Amino acid sequence: MFKIGVLVSGGGSNLGSIIDAIENKELNCSIEAVISDKPGVYALERAEAKGIKTFVVDKKEYKQETSNKILEILKDKVDLIVLAGYLSILNGEVLREFRDRIINIHPSLIPSFSGPGMYGIKVHEAAIKKGVKFSGCTVHYVNEEVDGGEILLQQVVPVNFEDTAKDLQQRILKEEHKLLPRAVKLISEGKVEIKDGKTRIIE
Ligand code: GRF
């Protein structure tokens, strides 16, 4: 069974989409752990309601050791780490140990509106301000560069003139909930090749 660990920081709607995909038998994998860098977030309640093991690695307590503590929990336990609304930056040994086995979902078409400081509603505010006609979401591999790893999947979402940042966020979130489970499925089925900084899907 393909095993995953999911990192969260907030509401966990992307975690919920993975849980739903597993329950609907669209995704043949098991969530071995849900780890939050913040206590008391709803993502933890979502996991606990399904009997999934949860951990809190409070970034306020662990600070620069947060990534190392996450590695300690997940090393040799999972095949893939999925960042689902995780807001801390992963760094250090975990990136080496899980090279090409960590993915993240970002709510824009990377490289637009991505990189340090670009997360949550700020991404959509920047897109609205710039007047782009399309935005979207991206699943990418995680490396040392924030939002810099190989792009795996992207989904385009139209931006309407009268959209607020919240309108756009909600429209993109719906697509995130389809894209992330699809990415996990492709990887779990061994259908992704990473080469020369790009990915190829072998359907
Ligand atoms: C989502 O927009 C996701 O793209 C970003 O974090 C936001 C919240 O995600 N990474 P969730 O509802 O906590 O899964």
* 10 touches ligand 1 (CB under 6 Å): yes
Cis link prior to 111 (omega < 30° from 0)? yes
Give the integer Cα–Cα distance in Å for 133 and 154: 16
Q: What is the CATH number of the domain that holds 133?
A: 3.40.50.170
Q: Hunting for tokens 């489970």 — which residue is that?
A: 181
Give the integer Cα–Cα distance in Å for 159 and 36: 31
Q: Could you give phi then psi for residue 132, rounded to 5 degrees?
A: -65, 150
What is the pTM for the complete model shown? 0.97
pLDDT in tens, the chain (203 residues): 999 999 999 999 999 999 999 999 999 999 999 999 999 999 999 999 999 999 999 999 999 999 999 999 999 999 999 999 999 999 999 999 999 999 999 999 999 999 999 999 999 999 999 999 999 999 999 999 999 999 999 999 999 999 999 999 999 999 999 999 999 999 999 999 999 999 999 98
Indicate the top mutation candidate among 14, 114, 140, 179 to test ligand 1's pocket, ranked by most ligand atoms within 8 A of CB.
Answer: 14
Number of separate domains in the chain: 1
User: Which residue range(s) make up the domain with 28?
Assistant: 2-201
Give the integer Cα–Cα distance in Å for 66 and 30: 24
Give the integer Cα–Cα distance in Å for 55 and 39: 9
